[in-house]
């Protein structure tokens, strides 16, 4: 279980640009949940992910994973337990290295390399099987540099690489936003397949309301650092895109837009 307890986060504290993003915010995410997070720009979606991953520090409050306080754990150590796929496909892979080298890096995440070869040839067949799972023919391009691949192929690799080791949480940060509609559909289908087969607890931030409705078993809507909608199970399954749009319109009217 992931717990965020009484989170407090200010940006530009003590200046004329001070902004309170989270004020006594709490949330619990149970093991096996797939949470879709929606909200307008500035609502706290990405800040929430950055706090969980350790990219930005808290002002107060704490974060626990399965009862272990990770509030002050550095980002690189959290990455052993958390896999993250970013909006930009270039952020999840190394373009100047081959597919094989990228796979080897992901396979050895959190392990000491010491004085040995970076690529273990005994693992090549395993990498091919993992890539075959994507259905994109990448298993036959092991020695091709990742930089020449399409955005969709790189994002599929980033998704695979982030889940190769035994992580406890998968963080998806608008991971289809930079892709064309057809490729985005492919990546979302792969996402659902990976999450199901590996039984991953997942948090997905998305601006695509259809994906938020169709994927996952819990839906959270953020606004001004608060969860103004939080439905799971049957209640989540009953939500329609129109319901979320109505909520967006309600917020817009309240804000005077």
User: Token digits for 252?
Assistant: 């817009």
Say if residues 216 and 36 touch (Cβ distance below 8 Å). yes
Mean pLDDT of 5-32: 92
User: φ and ψ at 31, to 5 degrees?
Assistant: -60, 135
Confidence of residue 257 (pLDDT cuts 50, 70, 90): low
Evaluate if pTM is beyond 0.95.
Answer: no
pLDDT digits (tens, 9 = 90+) for 48-101: 999 999 999 999 999 999 889 999 999 988 888 899 999 988 888 999 999 999
Say if residues 54 and 84 touch (Cβ distance below 8 Å). no
User: Token digits for 88?
Assistant: 């930009």
């Amino acid at each position: 279980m992931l717990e965020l307890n009484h989170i407090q986060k200010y940006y530009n504290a003590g200046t004329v640009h001070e902004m309170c993003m989270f004020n006594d915010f709490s949330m619990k995410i149970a093991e096996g949940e797939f949470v879709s997070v929606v909200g307008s720009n500035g609502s706290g979606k990405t800040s929430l992910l950055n706090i969980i991953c350790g990219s930005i520090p808290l002002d107060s409050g704490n974060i626990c994973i399965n009862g272990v306080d990770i509030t002050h754990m550095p980002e690189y150590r959290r990455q052993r337990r958390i896999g993250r796929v970013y909006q930009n496909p270039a952020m999840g892979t190394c373009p100047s290295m081959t597919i094989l080298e990228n796979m080897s890096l992901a396979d050895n995440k959190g392990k000491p390399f010491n004085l040995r070869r970076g690529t273990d040839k005994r693992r090549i067949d395993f990498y091919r099987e993992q890539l075959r799972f994507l259905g994109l023919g990448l298993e036959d391009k092991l020695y091709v540099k990742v930089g020449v691949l399409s955005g969709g192929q790189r994002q599929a690799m980033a998704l695979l690489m982030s889940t190769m080791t035994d992580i406890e949480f998968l963080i998806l940060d608008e991971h289809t936003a930079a892709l064309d509609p057809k490729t985005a559909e492919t990546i979302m289908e792969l996402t659902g397949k990976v999450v199901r087969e590996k039984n991953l607890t997942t948090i997905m931030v998305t601006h695509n309301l259809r994906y938020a409705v169709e994927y996952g078993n819990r839906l959270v809507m953020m606004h001004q650092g608060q969860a103004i909608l939080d439905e799971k199970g049957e209640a989540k399954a009953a939500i329609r895109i129109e319901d979320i749009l109505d909520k967006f319109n309600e917020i817009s009217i309240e804000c005077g837009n």
